[in-house]
């Protein structure tokens, strides 16, 4: 069974543009010209998961969201791929 990668998302309403996320996770987050984060790639590589979790914990506005993908539906069920 293959492991599915975490996805990184920023809540733009909660974010105050402090920029810690881009300092802690520059591989996936950069800042726009106003200092607000842009996620360059929402898929978090396994090697960066610990840093991504630290980034989410350090955000003073809890605006860094790490989401696990939903597990696939069992085969033979409506909507299963």
- How far apart, in whole angstroms, are the C-alpha atoms of residue 39 and residue 31? 9
Instruction: Check residue 8 for interaction with ligand SF4 (CB under 6 A).
Output: no
- Provide the mask over 31-70, with x wherever binding to ligand SF4 is found by CB under 6 A and - wherever it is not: ------x---------------------xxx-xx------
DSSP state of 14: T
- How far apart, in whole angstroms, are the C-alpha atoms of residue 72 and residue 52? 24
Instruction: Check residue 10 for interaction with ligand SF4 (CB under 6 A).
Output: yes
Residues that bind ligand SF4 (CB under 6 A): 10, 15-21, 37, 59-61, 63-64
């Amino acid at each position: 069974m293959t492991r599915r990668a975490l996805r990184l998302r920023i809540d733009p309403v909660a974010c105050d543009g402090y920029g810690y996320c881009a300092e802690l996770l520059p591989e996936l987050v950069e800042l726009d010209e106003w200092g607000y984060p842009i996620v360059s790639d929402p898929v978090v590589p396994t090697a960066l998961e610990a840093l991504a979790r630290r980034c989410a914990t350090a955000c003073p506005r809890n605006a860094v969201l790490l989401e696990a993908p939903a597990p696939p539906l069992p085969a033979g069920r409506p909507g299963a791929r």
